[in-house]
A = this chain, B = another copy of it.
Amino acid sequence: MDKFENIPGGVCAASGFQAAGVYCGIRKNPGKKDLSLIFSEVPASAAAVYTTNLVKGAPLTVTKKHIADGKAQAVICNSGNANTCNADGIEIAEKMSALTGEALGIAPEDVVVASTGVIGQPLNIAPIAAGIPQLAEQLSPEGSSEACAAIMTTDTVKKEVAVAFTLGGKCCHLGGIAKGSGMIHPNMATMLGFLTTDAAVSPAMLQKALSDNIQNTFNMVSVDGDTSTNDMVVILANGLAGNAEITEEGEDYDTFAQALNAATVPLCRMIAGDGEGATKLLECRVTGGKTLPVAKTVARSVISSSLTKAAMFGEDANWGRVLCAIGYSGADVDVTKVDVVFQSAAGTVTVCENGAGVPFSEELAAKVLHEKEIDILIDLNDGDASATAWGCDLTYDYVKINGDYRT
């Protein structure tokens, strides 16, 4: 088998994890689940990363406090309301933890709490209080998909992933679910992502692995340039795989970090491809950067350019917009060295060399850009650094979805 085998099961793929999702009544539409629970049968190492937005959802403050000891055993998350900019936000988030702890027979401080949805509308605890016992009852090792459905907002597809790998001869699993469709432009943190693993990893090494990982995964996704107030990725590692606990860097740590990457990159692609209103997944791969920050800045600038995104929606090989976005990125680039290529399952078309246009077949370009997954390849020809960023096209539906989000 591959070093990292894709397996089903999502956030329950790892041993000892169960999950569930229900409709409790936060949303008006009973057809859309709105409360989600993930539970580890045993206490787990926990690590998290949070939004850098100065406006932070109350659940983030509470979660930060709860996992300060590096341990957690459950995640409770509602959709439909972000519990952000509310006077009683902290109190409500604490209540969610307490009710979850009570239902599961664990300490409230071992509960991670998260919320996603509209900012600035008071969150009523009543439906949540009614929903939590239901969730506890419905917990199941097959519950990942239900839990995933319950954290979705404008998402149109569920985002689940899991991989199997080996550590010291023990078979380990790492899986996750994520949500995120709009207000996606993570900065040192990300949208909601919940990851679980049965590998034994110390809290410190788990935090290191997660913090390092997101720099090249979730932080390289942009849908609309808006960094959410409630971004958070949490990982729980319960050690049930039986491997020797990872407590320092080394071969096992590297394998674990690679497994994490094998799970988070597909989640990033799912989030970008399901960006609000998106019809296409865009992957921008930059090579030849003078430094890593240069390569990353260029990749993020191109993937964030409204004009480039609109051109991709229109399947228009308007590479001038790619050059323009490289030029205003702020990165140290010699624009006279830049090559640009559009690539997809339908073929490859070189549109720019040494910063100037080259003749290309519009017919081939149209075929390449008609695909659902487009790669924008940029060679800066100025060094060895490379970076990848993920985004999506800008469409009528993005405007439609966001023109009247609250109602």
Contact = CB atoms under 8 A, between A and B. Distances in A.
Interface of A: 52-56, 82, 84-87, 118-122, 182-183, 185, 187, 224-229, 304-307, 310-311, 313-314, 316-321, 323-328, 333, 335, 352, 355-357, 394-396, 398-407
Copies in the complex: 2
A399 B324 contact: no
Contact of A357 (B121, B229, B307, B321): B121
A84 B310 contact: no
Contact of A119 (B55, B320, B399, B402): B320
Contact of A305 (B55, B225, B333, B394): B225
B399 A313 contact: yes
Contacts of A324: 53, 55, 119, 183, 226-229
B403 A54 contact: no
A311, A326, A405, most chain B CB atoms within 10 A: A405
A57 to B, nearest CB: 10
A318 B54 contact: no
Given A324-B119, A328-B53, A318 B229 contact: no
B311 A403 contact: yes
A23 to B, nearest CB: 23
Given A310-B399, A316-B407, A333 B120 contact: no
Given A120-B352, A183-B321, A226-B321, 17 more contacts: A53-B328, A54-B327, A54-B333, A85-B357, A118-B320, A120-B320, A120-B356, A224-B307, A226-B305, A226-B306, A229-B323, A306-B402, A310-B405, A313-B399, A313-B403, A314-B403, A316-B404
A321 B304 CA distance: 18
